[in-house]
Amino acid sequence: MSDRKLQIIPLGGLGEFGMNSMALRYGDDIIVIDAGMMFPDAELLGVDIVTPDFAYLEEHRSMVRALLLTHGHEDHIGGIPFLLAQMNIPIYGTDFTLALVERRLEEHDLDKSAVLNRVKAGQKIELGPFVVEFIRVTHSIVSAVAMAITTPLGVVIHTGDFKVDPTPTDNELFDLHTFAEYGKRGVLLLMSDSTNVDRSGYTESERAVRPRMEDIFNRADRRLVISCFSSSIHRLQQILDLSAEFGRKVAFLGRSMNNVTEIAHNLGLLTIPDNILLRPQDIMSAAPGKVCVVVSGTQGEPMSALSRVAVDQHKSLSVERGDTVVLSSRIIPGNEKAIYRMMNHVAKRGADLVYGSMSPPVHVSGHASVEELKLILNLVRPRYFIPLHGEYRQMAKHAALARNLSHAGMEQAFVLETGQTVEIDSRGARMGPKVAVGRICIDSGSLDEVVEDMVIRDRRHLSEDGFVLPIIAINKQTGKAEGLPEIVSRGFVSLEDSVVMMQEARLVVARTLESSSAEERTDWGVMQEKIRADLKRFLTKQTSRRPLIMPVILEV
Ligand SMILES: [Zn+2]
Ligand SMILES: [Zn+2]
């Protein structure tokens, strides 16, 4: 036994934002914690989802015992369909987490074959040489857990995402006792969330949002439109409660908003006051002062409900002068441009805007600030420490914080990047070999549209399917297209059999333009995305090929 080693293998999420996944291996047994995704930067043009490359697990497929989930955020569960398509391993998670996973699996027709095991905080399960105890933590999403994993070499604690919220809206408290107990008995390794290591003090409780929200309810005399993450059950509960108090009916807009509220309601995690729900088609006929609309799309995603509302293209809701629009979420780095663009459109409709860093903010972070991070370090008192969930600078700072506490017994903190392993045996811990990791870029969230890497993807598209360049001239004064759009293509289809199709493609682009409002037409970002999506659909249908499509919009 003494020559056996425990390997910590980060598959994603270290030194990058999103797609968290961590494997633990002892001998011939592997368990995986989380399998997230990330939304790509604008520079990954045409890619919709990025997940870790699970090649390491694929290579050791017969050793992988289970996937364990900390909570239901996309950066922890979004990669599951892509992992499961490669290997059907059993999944363990709490009720809400699994319900969100199931919804994702349904979208990919994997729900029938998946093995989902519901666990509760406080429960222990045995997986080969590992005994895993799930420990309740608080976070911006409900039903979040940390894990204490007992291995033959000692206990490993993985915090998942957390803050220490003393007053969560569901009254399910952070289980500090269990952390302390493990600490007392001795912990080999702690891995902890580094997101907010730059923030001093304590992160505010979810309940801190309520008085600020109440203030908005007090001031608004017309329609109230609030956008938040659909998984923010704490936030939704407070919006529902306030709406009931202020005599407003609540309508949910957006597919994810409707799905998730239904799931949470069915699990008893969200209380919906009687007779409060309003059907979307009744929003505009109800008295404006009696309506609260909860909308998905906080990050300015081009096709989301809020983006459509912003340019007045939503069938159920028109924002009018004097309405209040609230963005109750954080701005995920990289999305600033899209969000501000969306907000500019909302402002043009004459709405009052409440968002971002306005004070008081109508959003609180779900991640622990420095004092909470210290608290966990002091309770757990690990021999080794690995910061998780952050960019390199944040993890480095978290490691320095741990070293500075220098409590008895702490030997070393490791700052890792995805793919850099750590090995622990009876003699101690050290950096191990690197394993092959990477990103998988996926178009349109479909399993068979996996593309290996951005560069490869472009190269492949170009070499096999060529490129298509729709060129649209828009008149600055009228906002209308000047003539029929031109389409230039290379390496896509031969000219002889493509004349008719290209003519039709021009009409497709023209129709996209016509069906868009003048305001949308002046927004290049929105138009490029719409044209790309429509043209891609048309060309794929016609040729089952996937050329690189790059709309060019010229103002004339
Ligand atoms: Zn999270
Ligand atoms: Zn996260």
Q: How far apart are CA 424 and CA 422, in angstroms?
A: 7
C-alpha–C-alpha distance, residues 430 and 34, integer Å: 24
State which residues of the chain have pLDDT below 70. 1-3, 39-48, 356-360, 406, 408, 442-463, 494-497
d(C-alpha 458, C-alpha 451), whole Å: 9
Cα–Cα distances in Å, from 88 out to 9, 12, 34, 98, 113? 20, 20, 15, 15, 8
- Starting from the CA of residue 13, give the closest ligand: 2
φ/ψ of 27, rounded to 5, equals: 60, -125
Report how far ligand 1's centroid is from the alpha carbon of 139 (Å): 7
Considering only CA atoms, which of 257, 264, 260, 292 is closest in space to residue 277? 292
Asked whether 194 and 397 are in contact (CB, 8 A), the reply is: yes
What is the whole-number distance in angstroms between the Cα of residue 36 and the centre of ligand 2?
8
Confidence at residue 412, expressed as pLDDT on a 0 to 100 scale: 95
Task: State the residue for tokens 């922890």.
Answer: 76
Cα of 343 from ligand 2 centre, angstroms: 25
Provide the pLDDT for residue 184. Answer: 96
* Closest ligand (CA of 365): 1
Q: Could you tell me the distance, in angstroms and rounded to a whole number, from the CA of residue 470 to the centre of ligand 2? A: 38
The residue annotated as part of the active site, out of 95, 161, 193, 523, is 193
Known catalytic membership, residue 108:
no
- At residue 541, the pLDDT reads 85
Per-residue model confidence (pLDDT) at position 529: 81
Q: Are 25 and 9 in contact (CB under 8 A)?
A: yes
Q: In the annotation, is 367 catalytic?
A: yes
Q: Are 326 and 225 in contact (CB under 8 A)?
A: yes
Distance 194 CA to ligand 2 centre (A): 10
N-term to C-term CA, the chain? 75
Cα 153 from chain centroid (whole Å): 34
User: Per-residue DSSP letters for 416-483?
Assistant: --TTEEEEEETTEEEEEEE----EEEESTT-GGGEES-HHHHHHHIIIII-EEEEEEEE-TTT--B-S
Q: Are 46 and 412 in contact (CB under 8 A)?
A: no
- Integer angstrom CA distances of residue 271 from 137, 170, 237, 276: 21, 10, 7, 11
The amino acid present at 207, given as its one-letter code, is R
Token pair for residue 499? 């004349």
Q: How far apart are CA 115 and CA 134, in angstroms?
A: 19
Residue from 76, 158, 314, 367 carrying the catalytic annotation: 367
- The amino acid occupying position 255 is R
Q: For the chain, how many helices (H) and strands (E)?
A: 16, 27
Question: How far is ligand 2, taken at its centre, from the CA of residue 231, in Å?
Answer: 13
Alpha carbon of 458 to ligand 1 centroid (Å)? 32
Identify the nearest ligand to the CA of 232 by its number. 1
Q: In angstroms, what is the span from residue 75 Cα to ligand 2's centroid?
A: 5
Environment class of 123 (CB within 10 Å of its CB; exposed 0-12, middle 13-18, buried 19+): middle
Q: What's the DSSP call for residue 492?
A: S
Which of 319, 313, 154 lies closest to 226, judged by CA? 319
